[in-house]
Amino acid sequence: MTRHRKLSPGKLVIASHNQGKVREIRALLAPFGIEPVSAGELGLPEPEETGTSFAENALLKANVSAQGANCVALADDSGLCVTALNGAPGVYTADWAEADIFEGGPGRDWYMAMGKVEGKLAELGPGTDRSAHFICTLALAWPDGHTEIFEGRANGNLVWPPRGTLGFGYDPVFQPDGFEQTFAELDPKQKHEMSHRADAFSKLVKACFD
């Protein structure tokens, strides 16, 4: 049986500059009495995500924050994998949203990114498989170099046009299996019960909390 290092109460940095993710991770950590600070709040650098897998990128981000803040850091690398697009955008999910001009300057335009996915599905013609899944890989890194990694998944289908205003990223086009609503229409509490992030988080909790 794998032995995991336990997380003791105290300072924890969320190694992310993405407000949507930070909000969700805060909510997931709240029941454990952990009040995290984010890498953004501490002014820590945002490393370039040069990895070719979710795990590589999550470890990269967690290690940079653990070293920068000298405490345990938790990173999330996640993305949308579309079956008919051979798993794309996958690790490049955030890159598909990069826009030269968005709200006055370079930024991430999620509606453009969702349109790009839809455009590629449309090119494949009617009757194309619209199934997709979200992956979330959580990495914990300690300042002494120890790391732990957990992966979660949520299966569903892509809808068009986008629906709902809650959540973040690609939530308005993702309808999880067993639900009529998209992630962006569901109450955040419901999303936190069955999302890819919640799945990865429950594995982390089993392994690293007493």
Residues recognised as catalytic: 77
**Closest CB to ligand IMP among residues 150, 170:** 170
Q: With CB under 6 A as the contact rule, which of the stretches 35-43, 65-73, 75-83, 139-147 interacts with ligand IMP?
A: 75-83
**Closest CB to ligand IMP among residues 80, 208:** 80
From residue 168 to residue 207, what is the string marking binding to ligand IMP with x (rule CB under 6 A)? xxxx-----------x-----------x-x----------
For residue 78, state whether it binds ligand IMP (rule: CB under 6 A): yes
What is the Cβ-side half-sphere exposure of residue 164, based on CA atoms within 13 angstroms? Answer: 22
For residue 102, state whether it binds ligand IMP (rule: CB under 6 A): no
Q: Which of 93, 114, 132, 141 binds ligand IMP (CB under 6 A)?
A: 93
The three-class DSSP label of residue 1 is: coil
For residue 114, state whether it binds ligand IMP (rule: CB under 6 A): no
The three-class DSSP label of residue 11 is: coil
Provide the token pair at 21: 């993710």
Q: Which of 18, 38, 175, 182 binds ligand IMP (CB under 6 A)?
A: 18
Provide the token pair at 61: 């981000």
Please state the φ and ψ torsions of residue 141, each to the nearest 5 degrees: -130, 135
Q: Which of 22, 28, 69, 79 binds ligand IMP (CB under 6 A)?
A: 79
The three-class DSSP label of residue 44 is: coil
**Closest CB to ligand IMP among residues 134, 150:** 134
The residue among 136, 53, 124 whose CA lies nearest residue 92 is 53
Place of tokens 């953004």: 40
Handedness of CA 179, 193, 2, 80 (dihedral sign): positive
Q: With CB under 6 A as the contact rule, which of the stretches 4-12, 63-71, 165-173, 201-209 interacts with ligand IMP?
A: 165-173
The residue among 50, 47, 44, 71 whose CA lies nearest residue 61 is 47
For binding to ligand IMP (CB under 6 A), which residues are involved? 18, 49, 77-80, 93-94, 134, 167-171, 183, 195, 197
